[in-house]
Structure 1
């Protein structure tokens, strides 16, 4: 693929405006959100969206999330509903993606939806992301800014290490606060949790006034982040390690002796924020395997364990 001189931009209004101009010209720009860095392209331009798949080495059957600055920008893209309004009121802007029926005639590249009759949409909370989206003034397709299947980036340096020369620019907004990709809720039929994240199943159920169905991994892909092998470092990953083996890098949780600890106090929010950062750091040490302590499967731990199980899956 062509090589680009990838620029690292700041977050002032001039830099954000420069990034938006790049997007209008069909360029690719990585930008920070509260979850992870996204790799943005103009969602209305087929060629620009195709470049996302090329830069990431992403399968074309894997749909993308469209980011916008305001709910009003979504209503001509998707079929809005009372349920969508309820969860939007509760959790947007924030780390939640909704999958809704695509509106007929919506000006969205068919590559974004991967041929599905639905569209994944989100309004991020990160102030730099919101300024960037507002400056661009249109829908931005943005998966995580990393090579397909590999660890998600929570710093601009992670983006440049993976995609330098493949994209025009990255807006350096510092470290992402949440550190895990957004929760994805399907609202094209029965409300269904398509990917766990910081907005938990219980929180969604309270707002919707009903239980949320669960997607099975054997079902056809309907949203990003559902491939069985995903989020993987170069090293192998051994889960639920109660002891350490020779030559392993040790990723702990709670009161354990280890190389890096997701949270010594057992704080799941802290653990989520540290997960990809620490996987990147341990992977850079070159150990053949990263062993990970058990993480409780409750609350945000459900999302952490989802990412870890996909990182550990056969490749």
Structure 2
């Protein structure tokens, strides 16, 4: 394979799901439906959280950021995937590939940190209910949200910089977007040192946040066990169950993709796992947070009621 001369602006060909041409139309239909549902669900949460004063709490403040992240993350990959599946264009320029890599890594890294912040919010709500409003002051919430974005951006800056310094051999990407493990597969020989640094950077943004989340929930579990009434325990667990499910879906797929050795990474499996966390998970997050959430359901009915009354 010839070394890719990036200085000439040579790009990549995204193979996508062309290995299964008979399934491309089916993928196109289902992905279009899932993408529409993702846009609708996450946009609804953002609008409701802004319009209803009862949802002006730290939990929904951070949930708005999570919904915005999911909207951006899905939009950074799905439109190009739909174009790829339609057969209109399967190419992406080198600059476009780097930009897509940077955007997806930034959004993913930000979500890693934001889920830790949301775990801290649940810890404060369950373990220190009387001091909750003092601990989770609006200024602290804003600072934590900003720290999430800055943390994701800095880590991505390091990983993307290392990726750009790595010589690439070939221009066929067996994926539907520019993702780190697939680009590493195209790395020329003799880049083991850079790959090690990238693995460490990826491990920091994944393993360290998971450790903090597990620590928060260990304290929460201890506090819940001290609650004598079953109703109190259900209420405490109800505030944490949705977040735990989202954490499991997000980190499970991310750790599978980014923390396995390059040699054991399966391109076919990787594409389907990527479909899960770029399309399915962002679609499920609004459902997970609203399915048993009386506050959001009440806010939705109040907004719809106002709309009907204004008519």
**Greater share of residues in helix:** 2
TM-score range relative to shorter protein: under 0.3
TM-score under structure 1 normalisation? 0.27
Taking structure 2 as the reference length, what is the TM-score of the superposition? 0.28
Task: Give 1 or 2 for the bigger CA radius of gyration.
Answer: 2
Q: Return the structure number with greater strand share.
A: 1
Higher relative contact order (CA 8 A, sep 6+): 2
